[in-house]
Amino acid sequence: MLTFIVRVGTPAQTFRVLPSTTGQETWIPVPEGCPFSDTANCADLREVYPFQGVQSGVQYNVSWTWKNIGLYDLVLERNLNYTGNGLFGLNKVGTMVDGGVLLEQQVIAGIATKNFFMSVLGLGPKPSNFSDFEHPQPSFLTGLKNENKIPSLSFACTAGAPYNCLDESLDMLNLVTSLTA
């Protein structure tokens, strides 16, 4: 399974994400997604890394860069009957634990539903709209393009290729920038 590490918020909270070519937002599990009735390793299975000694999910109340938008439907795979709600907001999103790229004001959804078990890094170029079409929020990929981190909105993934690097930072770089020149 091809996954990457992202950091969210300030101070940074770390998660392992699946790339999504369907969505354009970053979805991260919240602590409510692993209640006490779940297995003890629920957060570990959902690829949530410990933050301040606790492994539970994104903690909005700790991030001073979080800006709440509200509770909205998760519409990524509605055609497959995967549904749920997410607590949406804007926050910093960066690739890798340290270094990599860091974008401000990225759309984040905190998810409790297990229909979407792992975190997702949306790579779609479409903006997110929460009130009207006059105030779209750019996607992560569009943010990279707008800040001249990548030359276009195209991407490819070389996972499984014989020259695939073991260095995760280079894998993310390949994912986001291959075939863009």
**Can you give the pLDDT at residue 170?**
45
**Per 3-state DSSP, what percentage of the chain is helix, strand, and coil (rounded to 5)?**
15, 30, 55
How confident is the prediction along the chain (181 residues), in pLDDT tens digits per residue?
678 899 999 999 999 998 888 889 999 998 888 887 777 888 888 888 888 887 788 888 889 999 999 999 887 776 777 778 899 999 999 988 777 889 999 999 999 888 888 889 999 999 999 887 778 999 999 999 999 988 888 876 665 555 554 444 444 445 544 323 3
Assigned superfamily of 4-178: Acid Proteases (2.40.70.10)
| Model pTM score | 0.82
Give the DSSP letter of residue 19. E
Instruction: Give which of 102, 85, 144 is closest to 9, Cα–Cα.
Output: 102
